[in-house]
Structure 1
Amino acid sequence: MKVHDAAISGCPVHRGTADLVDPLLHSSGDAHAVWSRMRAQPTLTRQEVDEKRGFWNIVGFDDAEFVLRETSLFTSERGTMLDLLGTDDPAGGKQLAVTDPPRHTEMQTRLKKALAIRAVERQKDMIRSLILELIAPLGDGGTFDFAEAMLAMPMSVTGTMMGLPKADWPWLSRLTTVCIAADDPDYQDPGGKEATLESAHRELFAYFQDLVRFRRNDLGDDLLSVLISTEFEGRHMDSGEIVANCYSLLLGANVTTPHSPNYVMAEFIGSGVLEDWAAHPDVNVTAVEEALRWASPVNHFLRYATRDVEVRNTLIREGDAAVVWLGAANRDESAFPDATVFDIRRKPNKHLAFGIGPHYCVGHSVARVTLRILFEELLSRFERFEPAGKPERLASNFVSGYKRVPLTARPRAGAGVRRPE
């Protein structure tokens, strides 16, 4: 990778034929086959969306790592999702995900501390209790929609840590899913995608504005109180900044946490993977990391070049958009031997499911602890998992995951499965 102080001659470009913006490619097509062909090219591929908008595809591990690490060369402040391509994100400079260092570093300090592994470890009993409540119906003997339970799981955990009323969790969970999958017919309003997103954003932001106003004089030790009391640049966050980061926390949790287990249960029942994992609980840590690599729940990150820079023999000019496809980078054979094999003992496993660099997911410890507890409880309490219908993918180019995974299972003898009181 090279940085250029002035424009240089253009590099050859291999233009892909697949539309990577199309959510159907990611839900019912084969994006991994497209990415594999792209990785084999000596230069980057570029997709033109229309006469004014286009983007470079970053599909190799080393290239992805470079683009995400080098925040001085590739900014996130104009937006990080393809849906905003060519339109500056109004939360730029206010929300952690769309703020560059050094402001980003100062803004996230207290939140990062509150979500550090030691702090999360103290929440393990709470997380375990919530998970047991969600998976208990699997022991009833009927069909259990595993994906439905997993989509509710991050809201239960993060909602508790943020101090959000339990009665609001289902509504908030659906709204945040709408925000990342407004193309999906199960989540789209009759007015279409744009109207769906506008309505969901309006409801979420109004909800948090009211909650922040109410909680300013009733602070506790929850994450919302951390945001309200955080000082940076010699001042407290204003209401707009607090609300934007509440939204970001929920969105991040709802993307990263549910879809790794959904992938495992949708794709590996009957393969021997679950039986091997259950028989060797010592592999739980590496198995969870492999599930994260395999699923790569956050499908892409958008960045804009702040100056001319060369990546993979290709000149990306100042202002050009570059899309890092995390799922592609996490199947790169040059970084992961036997990358197309799901290996619960894979080590090392330096996947990019949580990103890398300054924007490494602030909630990664919460997600990891939650997933480890989930599989620990799931595989020690249940066995004989069987599919009970066809799994259905979520239609989205931003999140890679499943919305339905119907299955059945039996309680293990002596596991003591019962519904929490």
Structure 2
Amino acid sequence: MTVHAISAPAVPSLTPPPGCPMHAAATGAVNALDLVDPGLYSDGDPHPVWRRLRSLDVLTRHHIDEDRWFWNVVRFEDADRVLRDTATFTSERGTMLDLLGLDDPASGKQLAATDPPRHTEMQARLKKALAIKSVDRQREMIRDLVVPLLEPLGDGGTFDFAQAMLAMPMSVTGTMMGLPTGDWAWLNRLTTVCIAADDPEYQEPDGRNATLKAAHRDLFAYFQDLVRFRRNHLGDDLLSVLISTRFEGRHMAPDEIVANCYSLLLGANVTTPHAPNFVMAEFIGSGVLQDWAAHPEVDATALEESLRWASPVNHFLRYATHDVEIRNTLIKAGDPVVVWLGSANRDDLVFAGGSEFDIRRKPNKHLAFGIGPHYCIGHSVARVTLKTMFHELFTRFEDFQPAGRPERLRSNFVSGYKHIPITARPARGGNGRARSSV
């Protein structure tokens, strides 16, 4: 993995809790980088500071400004505890750093911003529709959507692998939601804007806040119009499932349906592309791709390792509902905590050689999809899509070569790539080596 240099921010951003006996060396290393800065994830490397934070026996506090701060949760054990315990750490005040200090307008309406028991009842029908048995019946549909995205790789020219991967979940989820094909590219860009408004490639001239506001306005207006139309034109798709869902003795309200349409689309577009993007960007030419391609029996473990390694969702925000102690640190009621999934997923106490990429790693109970009640509802779709993509990639192509410098997405919420120029050639024998069926 290439590590790019990054300069320190103008003001220290990470400070130890009051009275913490942190060593001076640790303090200096911690204060050197700003974990909130999107540039750290596009041009730098957060893992050295995460490693230092994991070595401490206390939590550290990150100050954004005089009014906003949060506790850093970086160890797997602590991350697992925070994400599972929704009674102590609520999602209903917001789940992303962008909302720190604000009230989430989707609270109690959107699954991601609703805690049990309401969350459990609200998600029941959608969870059933996205269960592995339901997704299994759509494997051929998923394959038919993935293959055309990969086919240009065989033309002999430079192929932007990341752009193909960014389009992939939109195709699959768009089909499953019954969204018009002609809207997919536009919706894909808008959802990317929502998680990467700091990226110059996605930012409008009026700046970050205006870009984000416009994207949210367009997405919500789109789904409001679509829901209004589809109420009288129900079908066999996820949008129809949401419209016809009953909980608490009633149907979902229009604003609840719209909020969850947004969440479904955002969740798919955030998680799915970046596991293969990390594999291609960081291991092309290293022998990893050849090893994986030659041994289809490792498909399952290699896929999970790519999810652990990429940790596409970089963080989750929670708020303490009452005083609680974690890692010798008192967290008071109302305090915000940020779980850094990319750090937890490389914790050496859980993953032997956590900083090493091992396609045969087992067990591998990573947190890439979260854990607990808010475990990603679309994880089965993502896994089937990714398994299909890797199978088709390695069956159809070989001799993968870099054709330019990969470019990271500028975002502190999503850890991913936006451009990965590569070349490849069709695998020998037309259909490539024999691989077991997905």
Same fold (TM over 0.5): yes
1:323 alignment partner, SS class: strand
Matched, 1:31 2:46: yes
AA paired with 1:369?
V
**What is the identity, as a one-letter code, of the residue corresponding to 2:20?**
P
Residues in 1 aligned to 2:20 and 2:93: alpha-carbon distance in whole angstroms: 27
Cα 1:407/1:360, change in 2 over 3 Å? same
What letter matches 2:35 in structure 1? L
In structure 2, the CA distance between the partners of 1:11 and 1:366, relative to structure 1 (3 Å rule), is farther
Q: 1: CA distance between counterparts of 2:174 and 2:388?
A: 18
Aligned partner (choices 382, 389, 392) of residue 407 of structure 2: 392
Amino acid of the structure 2 residue aligned with 1:309: V
What secondary structure does 1:56 align onto? Answer: strand
- Residue in structure 1 matched with residue 210 of structure 2 by the alignment: 195
Is the alpha carbon distance of 1:235 and 1:143 closer, same or farther for their aligned partners in structure 2, counting shifts above 3 Å? same
CA–CA separation in structure 2 for the residues paired with 1:124 and 1:133 = 15
8 Å Cα contact 1:162-1:224 kept in structure 2? yes
1:75 counterpart = 2:90: yes
Alignment partner of 1:221 is 2:236:
yes
The answer to whether residue 54 in structure 2 is matched with residue 46 in structure 1 is no
Task: Name the CA distance, whole Å, in 2 between partners of 1:413 and 1:41.
Answer: 52
Say whether the 8 Å CA contact 1:13–1:44 is kept in structure 2: no
Shift of 1:19: 1.1
Q: Tell me the amino acid that sits aligned with residue 12 of structure 1.
A: C
Output the CA distance in 2 between the equivalents of 1:11 and 1:416: 64
Q: State the shift of 1:399 in Å.
A: 0.1
Paired residues of 2:395 and 2:431 also in contact (CA < 8 A): no
Quick check: 1:125 aligned with 2:140?
yes
Query: Counterpart in 1 of 2:13?
Result: none
RMSD, aligned α-carbons: 1.1
Give the structure-2-normalised TM-score: 0.92
1:158-307 aligned at under 5 Å gives the runs 158-307=173-322
In structure 2, C-alpha distance between the alignment counterparts of 1:100 and 1:355, rounded to whole Å: 14
Residue ranges of structure 2 left out of the alignment (5+ in a row): 1-16, 433-438
Q: Residues of 2 paired with 1:51 and 1:416: CA distance?
A: 60
Whole-Å separation in 2 of the counterparts to 1:26 and 1:147: 16
**Matched residues in 2 for 1:337 and 1:353: separation?**
17
Amino acid at match of 2:290: E
Is the CA contact (8 Å cut-off) linking 1:131 and 1:374 kept in structure 2? yes
Q: 8 Å contact 1:11–1:315 — kept in the other structure?
A: no
* CA deviations over 1:154-186 (Å, ceiling 9, x no partner): 000000000000000000000000000000000
* Residue number among 150, 164, 185 corresponding to 2:165 in the alignment: 150
Indicate the residue corresponding to 1:5 in structure 2.
none
1:300-379 aligned at under 5 Å gives the runs 300-379=315-394
Give the residue type in structure 1 aligned to 2:427.
R
Change in CA separation of 1:366 and 1:13 when aligned onto 2, cut-off 3 Å: farther
Q: Report if the CA contact (8 A) 1:13-1:43 is conserved.
A: no
The count of corresponding residues between Structure 1 and Structure 2 is 409
How big is each residue's C-alpha offset from its partner over 1:374-397, in whole Å with a ceiling of 9 and x where there is no partner?
000101110000000000000000
Give SS of 2:405's match: coil
Structure 1 CA distance, aligned partners of 2:62 and 2:310? Answer: 24
User: CA 1:68–1:11 in structure 2 vs 1: closer, same or farther (change >3 Å)?
Assistant: farther
CA contact (8 A) 2:398 2:424 kept: yes
Deviation >3 Å, runs of 4+: 13-16
TM-score using structure 1 length: 0.96
How far 1:27 moved relative to its partner? 1.4
- For residue 324 of structure 1, give the secondary structure of its aligned residue in structure 2: strand
Cα distance in 2 for residues equivalent to 1:101 and 1:12? 35
Which secondary structure state, in structure 1, belongs to the residue aligned with residue 71 of structure 2?
Answer: strand
Q: Is the 8 Å Cα contact of residues 79 and 85 (structure 1) preserved in structure 2?
A: yes
The Cα of 1:415 is off from its aligned counterpart by 2.8
| Aligned partner of residue 80 in structure 1, secondary structure | coil
State how far apart, in whole Å, the 2-side matches of 1:227 and 1:122 are. 20
Please point out which of 151, 154, 158 is paired with 1:136. Answer: 151
Letter in 1 for 2:191: T
Give the distance between the partners of 1:23 and 1:319, measured in 2 at CA: 26
Q: Which residue of 2 aligns with 1:12?
A: 20
Residue by residue over 1:353-383, the C-alpha shift from the partner in whole angstroms, topping out at 9 and shown as x without a partner, is: 0000000000000000000000001011100
Work out the CA distance in 2 between the residues paired with 1:120 and 1:414. Answer: 31
Residues 10 and 315 of structure 1 are in contact (CA less than 8 Å); yes or no, is this contact kept in structure 2?
no
Please give the secondary structure, in 2, of the residue aligned with 1:355: coil
Confirm or deny: 8 A CA contact 1:354 1:364 kept in the other structure.
yes
CA-to-aligned-CA distance 1:1-60 (integer Å, 9 cap, x gap) = xxxxxxxx9762756312111001111111011100100111011111111110000000
SS of corresponding position for 2:206? coil
Give the secondary-structure state (helix, strand or coil) at the position aligned to 1:57.
strand
Equivalent residue number for residue 4 of structure 1 = none
Deviation at 1:205, TM superposition (A): 0.2
1:79–1:98 contact (8 Å) kept in structure 2: yes
CA distance in 2, matches of 1:330, 1:165: 37
Which residue matches 1:97? 112
CA distance in 2, matches of 1:110, 1:11: 49
The farther-off stretch of 17-26 and 240-249 is: 17-26
Kindly provide the CA deviation profile for residues 284-322 of structure 1, in whole angstroms up to 9, marking residues without a partner as x.
011000000000000000000000110111011110000
Task: Give the conservation status (yes or no) of the 8 Å contact 2:397–2:425.
Answer: yes
- The secondary structure found in structure 2 opposite 1:201 is helix
Identity of aligned residues (%): 73
Deviations 1:227-259 (CA, angstroms, capped at 9, x unpaired): 000000000000000000000000000011000
